């Protein structure tokens, strides 16, 4: 076990350094390290002619402890963060300077890192109990892959960081969870691993959930998933920054005779945003105009975008959304809130 521990640490550090050399920056992806450590440990045990499954049971529990601690680190620094919510953890400018998503500074984000940490810790506690009670070798190893994979698939829907890869509407981690679970039950069916019927049931259920989610997204009239996708939210934030740049109306040769320049930001989904301020009763209120350059913007889509803009630009505010043409919607912010590094509700 001492040798297995040293092998696991060596694989982790080697993979981390190799990834940093290839992509140019540190990028720790849990599933990559889990697969590499388990595969390297299995190869090492095979070379020593040692039984694989008893050692893999213990190794995977060690990986689970590592993950539970690692996600607490993620929670503290703001990586792998959740989506905006009414209750959550808020990050400050210091986190943004270290790489946190800047347009979420001061916005309550669901603490999905803490949830995943508790999930992993619970699996480890139950798994250690099962090992100490003398379970069949390999039982904990396969159960960890299935139980963690099922939970990780669900947690990914709560993620809000925009840089993780997506394929056909699902994240890399969600596809990896499904593939690892499918590989596990295939190995169990071939008797290479101890058969557990509920593993197959969990994997089939996960595949059905993925198919159901995909079908639901296609049938919805309003593309809520696409509008609130982490990458599109980033585009919304960038469009807002562009639209709210200096509107002084001056040019290099002097004041612009046509008045202030109206800047319009646009996203990959065709959402167009302009903004500024309007005056009522000697007070200035933030104002935005929403439209689409591909298809007419629906009222439901406009309401989703309005709530999103208020959440990332004016937290804890009230707003009015109205339209006279039915295609251009006007968003008026009635009250603004503050920002800070704190837990929010």
The pLDDT value recorded for residue 341 is 33
**Any bridge partners for residue 344, and if so which?**
88
* Cβ partners under 8 Å of residue 231, min gap 6: 162, 166
Reading phi first (left if > 0) and then psi (alpha if -120 to 50, else beta), residue 265 is in beta
Domain ranges of the chain: 2-219, 227-249+259-337
Reading phi first (left if > 0) and then psi (alpha if -120 to 50, else beta), residue 190 is in alpha
Lookup: tokens for 116: 């995943």
For residue 115, the SS3 value is helix
**Short-list 286, 285, 299, CA closest to 328:** 299
- Rounded to whole angstroms, the Cα distance separating 167 from 184 reads 22
Residues of the chain with pLDDT below 50 are: 248-254, 256-258, 337-345
Residue 188 near residue 173 (C-beta atoms within 8 A): no
For residue 257, the SS3 value is coil
Per-residue pLDDT of 27-72, as tens digits, reads: 889 999 999 999 999 999 999 999 999 999 999 999 999 999 999 9
Residue 155 near residue 163 (C-beta atoms within 8 A): no
The pLDDT value recorded for residue 344 is 37
The pLDDT value recorded for residue 15 is 92
* Cβ partners under 8 Å of residue 331, min gap 6: 287, 288, 289, 290, 306, 309, 310, 319, 320, 321
Residue 189 near residue 195 (C-beta atoms within 8 A): yes
Q: How many CB atoms lie within 10 A of CB 21?
A: 8
Lookup: tokens for 33: 């390290």
- Rounded to whole angstroms, the Cα distance separating 66 from 60 reads 10
**How distant, in Å, are the alpha carbons of 145, 185, 214, 229, 315 from that of 342?**
35, 44, 36, 25, 14
The pLDDT value recorded for residue 286 is 85
Is the Cα torsion angle 162, 166, 169, 175 positive or negative in sign?
negative
Q: pTM here?
A: 0.86
């Amino acid at each position: 076990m001492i040798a297995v521990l040293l092998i696991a640490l060596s694989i982790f550090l080697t993979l981390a350094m190799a990834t940093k050399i290839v992509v140019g920056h540190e990028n720790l992806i849990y599933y990559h390290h889990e697969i590499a450590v388990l595969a390297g440990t299995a190869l090492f045990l095979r070379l020593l002619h040692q039984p694989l499954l008893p050692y893999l049971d213990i190794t995977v529990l060690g990986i689970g402890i590592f993950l539970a601690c690692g996600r607490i680190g993620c929670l503290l620094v703001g990586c792998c963060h959740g989506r905006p919510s009414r209750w959550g953890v808020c990050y400050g400018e210091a986190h943004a300077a270290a790489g946190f998503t800047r347009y979420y500074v001061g916005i309550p984000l669901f603490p999905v890192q803490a949830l995943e940490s508790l999930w992993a810790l619970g699996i480890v506690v139950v798994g250690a109990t099962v090992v100490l009670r003398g379970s069949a070798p390999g039982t904990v190893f396969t159960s960890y892959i299935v139980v963690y994979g099922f939970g990780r698939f669900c947690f990914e829907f709560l993620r809000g960081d925009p840089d993780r890869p997506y394929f056909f509407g699902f994240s890399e981690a969600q596809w990896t969870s499904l593939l690892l679970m499918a590989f596990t039950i295939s190995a169990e069916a071939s008797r290479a691993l101890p058969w557990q019927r509920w593993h197959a049931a969990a994997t089939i259920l996960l595949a059905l959930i993925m198919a159901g989610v995909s079908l639901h997204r296609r049938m919805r009239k309003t593309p809520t998933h696409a509008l609130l996708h982490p990458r599109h939210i980033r585009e919304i934030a960038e469009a807002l920054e562009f639209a709210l740049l200096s509107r002084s109306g001056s040019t290099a040769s002097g004041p612009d005779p046509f008045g202030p320049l109206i800047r319009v930001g646009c996203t990959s989904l065709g959402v167009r945003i302009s903004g500024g301020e309007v005056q009522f009763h000697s007070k200035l209120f933030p104002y935005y105009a929403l439209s689409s350059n591909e298809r007419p913007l629906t009222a439901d889509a406009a309401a989703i975008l309005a709530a999103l803009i208020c959440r990332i630009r004016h937290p804890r505010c009230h707003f009015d959304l109205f339209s006279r043409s039915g295609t251009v919607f006007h968003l008026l912010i009635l009250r603004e809130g503050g920002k800070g590094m704190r837990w929010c509700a």
